[in-house]
Amino acid sequence: MTASNYSYSSLAHLGPQGRWRRVLLVAVVPMLCGFIYYAYASSFFPHTAFKPSQYPYQHNVSLPADDISMATVIKALYSPILHPVDAANFTDEDGDVHKLPGEPRFKEKLGKRVLVLDIDSRPLTNDGQLMNEELKWKGMRPLSAGMLSHFMFANIHGYDYKFIRAPDYPDRWGTWVKVPMMKEALKTHDYIVFMDSDVMFHYPHLPLEWLLNYWNMTADTLAMMSIDPDEPQNYDTKGNRYLNTGFVIAQQSKRTQEMYKAWAECPSETRYKGCGQWKVAWAHEQAAFGNYIRYDFDRPDDIKVLPCVEANGAPEAVNRGGCKGTFVRHFWVDKGLLAKGISDSVMQYFVPRLHQMYHQEASEHIIDKKGFKLVGADMVPMTDEEKEALKKDEGKNQKDEGF
């Protein structure tokens, strides 16, 4: 099997044919007109205006020839620009630079040691839901977008992915099932990433390992969760803010198993007096964790609290305590934003590539008629003097993106 080489290059690497160099293009117009014209084809960017690429790390990637499987499509889009797991920094879409706090612990990809986990006890078989035989973009339900994005994230980085159809507790609110299911998953995988279906990674090309380095997951960390916004309903009985259990990164260890056991058994009240109330009362398993478990598993490294701005909320929720979901978006603010979320996680990569292609092939489709003037229905070549004079009132009858 042959392999075709595939590489993403920024505009800055365009060959000379893509620059301001004039390419003389002879176009034959329909014989009726019977005239031949010259056109300039060029990139719109003078090379002094080139900006550094938003994807500083670019890799050559081989793809199997004649393979149009979805796995290959995903690889073609993301692999050329994957961020290295141990990169010293990451620049986000707003230009903010996030630097590792120190020497990275994770320098190699973890691959299948990581499990990206969806857990649900509902059938999800209605129109627009994930387990329906058919799913269209139009009418897709929000949670389908979330879970598909988790699946895609795992595929991009070679992590394991599982959807666990969970059994229900007869006497507890549905979300409680995630506790014993995460506990199970931590028997087979070293790291699990559990996300509610309204949670997604905003930069799918940024590997989990990088975030583990950035958030300083140590060998002793049991779990990482984000703090909730500073609002009255998010406080526990001791006056501390809840950790949001909709996004959890947990690390396998004996102590992690003990913590999950204590958590799942919390409502039995053998260990934690009063926990039974959270069986059905809001915030369910989150309240049990917030009121009891975190105070019981309180070694300095046990629970790593992630900032709300980075791992909770969404830009639309920035007025809720600044929780704008820089790395991990949690769309409690509006579930209707999930479809836009998965669209962002494709289009932020697709569009620069399309744009790159547009300019690489510019000589074939950008036709420059600026050397002509319009007289009635005709295009008449301008003299050099006319061109000079024209520069003076450039853009007179145009406005930016206006119509």
Ligand X SMILES: *[C@@H]1O[C@H](CO)[C@@H](O)[C@H](O)[C@H]1NC(C)=O
φ, ψ at 341 (rounded to 5°): -60, -45
Which of 4, 126, 188, 218 contacts ligand X by CB under 6 A? Answer: 218
Strand-pairing partners, residue 164, are 119
Q: How far is the CB of 251 from ligand X (least distance, A)?
A: 13
- The smaller minimum CB distance to ligand X, of residues 129 and 253, is found at 253
Strand 23-28 and strand 36-41: the pairing is antiparallel
Q: How far is the CB of 90 from ligand X (least distance, A)?
A: 8
Q: How far is the CB of 281 from ligand X (least distance, A)?
A: 34
- The smaller minimum CB distance to ligand X, of residues 7 and 126, is found at 7
- The smaller minimum CB distance to ligand X, of residues 10 and 129, is found at 10
- The smaller minimum CB distance to ligand X, of residues 166 and 223, is found at 223
Tokens found for residue 300: 């300095």
* Total residues in contact with ligand X, by rule CB under 6 A: 12
Residues 295-354 that bind ligand X (CB under 6 A): 300-301
Phi-psi region at 395: left, alpha or beta (left = phi > 0; alpha = psi -120 to 50): left
Element (H, E) at 77: helix 70-78
- The smaller minimum CB distance to ligand X, of residues 56 and 174, is found at 56
Which of 60, 62, 277, 383 contacts ligand X by CB under 6 A? Answer: 60
Tokens found for residue 303: 């629970």
Biggest CA-to-CA distance, the chain: 93
Q: How far is the CB of 60 from ligand X (least distance, A)?
A: 4
φ, ψ at 212 (rounded to 5°): -65, -40
216 is a site residue for ligand X (CB under 6 A): yes
Residues in the chain: 403
φ, ψ at 375 (rounded to 5°): -130, 105
Q: How far is the CB of 103 from ligand X (least distance, A)?
A: 8
395 is a site residue for ligand X (CB under 6 A): no
Distances (CA, A) of 207 to 165, 252, 394: 26, 19, 47
Which of 7, 237, 277, 383 contacts ligand X by CB under 6 A? Answer: 7
The label of the residue with tokens 């909320």 reads 313
- The smaller minimum CB distance to ligand X, of residues 105 and 241, is found at 105
Residues 78-117 that bind ligand X (CB under 6 A): 88-89, 97, 101-102
Exposed/middle/buried for residue 216 (C-beta within 10 Å: 0-12, 13-18, 19+): middle
4 is a site residue for ligand X (CB under 6 A): no
Rounded Cα distance between 244 and 223, Å, is 12
- The smaller minimum CB distance to ligand X, of residues 79 and 345, is found at 79
Q: Which residue is nearest to ligand X (CB)?
A: 102
Q: Which of 53, 56, 44 is CA-nearest to residue 18?
A: 44
Q: Which of 283, 286, 350, 344 is CA-nearest to residue 315?
A: 344
- The smaller minimum CB distance to ligand X, of residues 91 and 343, is found at 91
Residues at the contact surface with ligand X, assessed by CB under 6 A: 5, 7, 60, 88-89, 97, 101-102, 216, 218, 300-301
